[in-house]
Structure 1
Amino acid sequence: MYSKKLTPEQVALYHQQGYVVVKSFCSKAEIDKLYSTAVNDNAMLNNAVDLNDQSGKKTKLSLWFTPGNDVFGYLTRSEKMVSSVQQLLGDKAKVCHFHSKLMQKEPKVGGAWEWHQDYGYWYKNQFMFPDELISVMVALTPANKENGCLQVIKDSHKLGRVNHGFSGEQVGADMTMVNNALKTMELVYLELEAGDALFFHSNLLHRSEANLSDYPRWSIISCYSLQSNLAYNESSTSWKTPVNVVPDEAILEWDAESLSNADFLKKENDPALKETGWEKEVAN
């Protein structure tokens, strides 16, 4: 069971290779509650968006900005989550929540995502400091090669921001740089058990294959920034609001609201999202 504090070795590993995996970050009981909510809360279904890969396969996602008093809000606001992010980003400013998304790769139809960096498009939001941005993926189901687990290029965060452009409906990294990175650095398949957490740098190159297996791959991904990291082209406000931390026990023991009141991203409400590559921004 996770002890609420990363070890010095884990912190060093994150800075060295651009990511760190924390095993059993969430307990089975926590994952059961999170996954049950993901499947049964109508707000998730009603606000899910289909994203197409180049072969026509689809990945569903639901994205919201402000963490609330629902079970996913309790996870993203939990002491273990926020304290871990603070350790990795440093103690010079408070942790803020940018957005969270539920990723749903269904069996046989869940789509692929091209190589990209999160900061490749968060740059368009004009966040100033990529070292003060981080994503945390918590696996709600097992993630493996068969169902399209995340692939990363180890150490690639040291490249800095790579140019990104459109490829079909997606926005991906410059493949010349990606191929050079693959010749130089190690490709890693990050196979996770349900409850494992992956913390990764905003400039880490990553992708995922389509889910061709008989089993789903679902995950919750929460993205954080330090309050000192100004974003000059971002209309949401959660990115500059320090997280209201709750105890870890809240996930299982506190009454949880539905996500029906969450401030979900809605594609049809902002036609500019298509032009800024929002599909790629929110997918992993």
Structure 2
Amino acid sequence: MSAAQLTAEEKQFFQENGYLIKKGVYTQYELDRLSKEYVKIWIELLAEGKILQNPEKPLTSLYPNRLRDFHRGNRTITAFMLKTEAISLLESLIGEEPLAIQSGYYYKPPGSRGLGFHQDNYHIGVSPGTSYAMWVSMEATNAENGSLVFVPGTHQLPLVSSEVVPGSSDAYGSEVLRVPEGYEKIQIETEAGDVVFFNGNMYHGSTKNRSEHRYRRSFVTHFAPARTEKITLNYGQLVGKDGRRVRRKLNTEAKIMEMEQSVFHYQDASFYDQIIKGVTDR
């Protein structure tokens, strides 16, 4: 069985647990090429003074929590995001074509905080149904450098508003979901090139990078099923598997509209907020 195919057992595991780790979907060459593209973007941000180092946080201040949506206008990033084998796997899991909503590249250097439990579709607002994530491990991840944490089975639960839990030093923000009674969390491990697929209603997060020298780089794309009628996030900037731009109606009744703040209101560098000149591969 190749990395581009799913077994019946893998499909069943995804349906029952809400996530699936698929080994070796991306090659080291592909990972290196994507990383070099983001290094160029990062250097340009530094040169333009859009990233400033804080002497008290020398590493974490140098890296935005994520570089968001730089696939727009960039053929290298878009090609990585829409790799045929990876999209085919997701399409097989959800039973229809996935439409890319947004992309994000995370460096997560040593000392970086994790992210409390949340549900992606809370802020993405796919309707009907839910969103899906494709999380690419750029290097090995485990508990030491802050790998992903899931609460299996919670993908079958409805979207829930976060609770305010102040005082945490391990996670960005103070609004998190508590593990529901009867469910247990697990922390996964991945190798470079592995892909983690997970459902948009799944409770998930990550832990603090407690290592001294290891980063936890990853590239994540969120997707909507083709049958989606409305969506809140980037509703006019969806991308089909052939690279075409797709539009859907704006979902003005998404769950996130109930709250002014959300766990996603942490600082990042986006395509719109940080315009990169001379870097994107047009």
TM over 0.5: yes
Q: Cα distance 1:152–1:45, how it changes in 2: closer, same or farther (>3 A)?
A: farther
Q: Determine helix, strand or coil for the equivalent of 1:163.
A: coil
CA positional deviation for 1:210:
1.3
Counterpart CA distance in 2 for 1:19 and 1:281 is 27
Question: 1:171, 1:280 within 8 Å by CA — same for their partners in 2?
Answer: no
Q: What does residue 116 of structure 1 align with?
A: 118
CA positional deviation for 1:172:
3.5
Question: 1:21, 1:196 within 8 Å by CA — same for their partners in 2?
Answer: yes
CA positional deviation for 1:24:
0.9
Q: Which one-letter code corresponds to 1:163 in the other structure? A: S
In the alignment, structure 1 residue 28 sits paired with structure 2 residue 28 = yes
Q: Which one-letter code corresponds to 1:154 in the other structure? A: P
Matches within 5 A, 1:153-172: 153-165=151-163, 170=173, 172=175
Matches within 5 A, 1:226-241: 226-231=225-230, 233-239=232-238, 241=239
Counterpart CA distance in 2 for 1:164 and 1:224 is 22
In the alignment, structure 1 residue 90 sits paired with structure 2 residue 92 = no
Identity %: 21
Q: Determine helix, strand or coil for the equivalent of 1:130.
A: coil
Structure 2 gaps, min length 5:
53-59, 167-171, 245-256, 269-282
Question: 2:124, 2:231 within 8 Å by CA — same for their partners in 1?
Answer: no
Q: What does residue 195 of structure 1 align with?
A: 193
CA positional deviation for 1:44:
7.5
Structure 1 gaps, min length 5:
51-56, 247-271
Q: Which one-letter code corresponds to 1:160 in the other structure? A: P
Q: Cα distance 1:137–1:237, how it changes in 2: closer, same or farther (>3 A)?
A: same
- Deviation per CA, 1:119-150, whole angstroms, max 9, x where unpaired? 22223xxx21334x200110112111011111
Q: What does residue 130 of structure 1 align with?
A: 129
Counterpart CA distance in 2 for 1:104 and 1:145 is 16
Q: Which moved more, 1:57-66 or 1:31-40?
A: 57-66
What RMSD in Å do the two structures reach over aligned CA positions?
3.3
Q: Which one-letter code corresponds to 1:218 in the other structure? A: R
Q: Which one-letter code corresponds to 2:28 in the other structure? A: K
CA positional deviation for 1:235:
4.9
TM-score w.r.t. length of structure 1: 0.72
Q: Which moved more, 1:203-212 or 1:25-34?
A: 25-34
Q: Which one-letter code corresponds to 1:71 in the other structure? A: T
**From 265, 268, 279, the counterpart of 1:279:** 265
TM-score w.r.t. length of structure 2: 0.73
Question: 1:156, 1:203 within 8 Å by CA — same for their partners in 2?
Answer: yes
CA positional deviation for 1:223:
0.7
Q: Which one-letter code corresponds to 1:84 in the other structure? A: L
Q: Which one-letter code corresponds to 1:31 in the other structure? A: L
- Deviation per CA, 1:54-99, whole angstroms, max 9, x where unpaired? xxx77621111755543221111111122112111113xx321100
Question: 1:172, 1:280 within 8 Å by CA — same for their partners in 2?
Answer: no
CA positional deviation for 1:158:
1.5
Q: Which one-letter code corresponds to 2:199 in the other structure? A: H
Q: Cα distance 1:29–1:2, how it changes in 2: closer, same or farther (>3 A)?
A: farther
Q: What does residue 9 of structure 1 align with?
A: 9
CA positional deviation for 1:49:
8.1
Q: Cα distance 1:166–1:65, how it changes in 2: closer, same or farther (>3 A)?
A: farther
Counterpart CA distance in 1 for 2:267 and 2:41 is 24
Counterpart CA distance in 2 for 1:29 and 1:103 is 19
Q: Cα distance 1:281–1:23, how it changes in 2: closer, same or farther (>3 A)?
A: farther
CA positional deviation for 1:190:
1.0
Counterpart CA distance in 2 for 1:150 and 1:189 is 6
Counterpart CA distance in 1 for 2:43 and 2:128 is 33
Matches within 5 A, 1:56-75: 60-64=65-69, 67-75=72-80
More helix per residue: 1 or 2?
A: 1
Q: Which one-letter code corresponds to 2:122 in the other structure? A: G
The count of residues paired between Structure 1 and Structure 2 equals: 239
